[in-house]
């Protein structure tokens, strides 16, 4: 299991990777975790990544399925970790710490 803590504006966002499962949470709400289907996705961001979803009414559900499908094809939690960092950094999510297998968190440089 890998836990990543991000700064996003004035919020702390927690991402937990358990095998092929990725959970997201906001520490302001006691770190309630939800998978991607429980998140409110940004329409513009989804359309930028998947232009074919522009006219679909179920764009959120389809984007969540595509995310889960992509994650399931990655070989390890470390690959999922690198993918999450690569995808979130450009949108202002600044990684602070990484905690792996119950060890103490380490700062991400």
DSSP 101: T
What residues does 18 pair with on adjacent strands?
Answer: 21
**Structural domain tally of the chain?**
1
pTM of structure: 0.84
Strand-pairing partners, residue 98, are 4, 106
The predicted structure's pLDDT at residue 30: 67
Beta-carbon count within 10 A of 5 CB: 19
**Which pair of structure tokens corresponds to residue 61?**
């559900």
Structural domain of 37: 2-107
Structure token digits, residue 10? 């004035």
What CA–CA distance (Å, rounded) separates 43 from 103?
37
Taking only the tens place, the pLDDT of each residue in 10-63 is 888 899 999 999 999 887 666 688 888 877 888 998 999 899 999 999 999 999
Matching residue, tokens 């559900």: 61
């Amino acid at each position: 299991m890998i836990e990543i803590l991000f700064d996003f504006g004035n919020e702390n966002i927690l991402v937990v990777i358990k095998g092929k499962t990725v959970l997201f949470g906001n520490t302001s709400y006691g770190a309630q975790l939800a998978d991607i289907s429980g998140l409110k996705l940004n329409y513009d961001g989804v359309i930028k990544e998947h232009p074919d979803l522009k006219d679909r009414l179920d764009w959120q559900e389809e984007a969540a399925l595509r995310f889960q499908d992509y994650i399931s094809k990655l070989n390890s939690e470390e690959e999922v970790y690198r993918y999450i960092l690569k995808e979130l950094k450009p949108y202002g999510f600044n990684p602070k710490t990484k905690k792996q297998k119950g060890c103490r968190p380490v700062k991400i440089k």
